[in-house]
Amino acid sequence: ALCNELRILRHLRHPNIVLIHGAIINEERRMICLVLELVHGTTLGKFIQGGPDNLARYQIMTGVCQALIYMHSRTPHIVHGDIKSGNVMVEIAGGEARPKLLDFGLS
């Protein structure tokens, strides 16, 4: 799953998609470790429990939709395959709720 995620993420550059900085490969142990952008926030599920206002809800939905439009406009199309509240991080920056889509292992 990590090889697939690495293959997908290394080509994606969008403000609402987590950025990949690189990977560490240990051939002896047959392991791959992704080095991803640090998102200062919480999962969408936990964020929603806090009762965000309508503006924050709108910003989150718009951001996720923009990320999906970007992915689906790629050639070939990229389908996330596992969008759920645990795979969306929300950070607050400049008073705005900014979602970051992550975990492309099932794409």
Q: What amino acid positions are annotated as catalytic residues? A: 82
d(CA 9, CA 102): 9
3-state SS assignment for residue 43: strand
d(CA 34, CA 79): 20
3-state SS assignment for residue 56: helix
Token pair of 59 as six digits:
């910003």
Dihedral of alpha carbons 81, 83, 86, 91, sign: positive
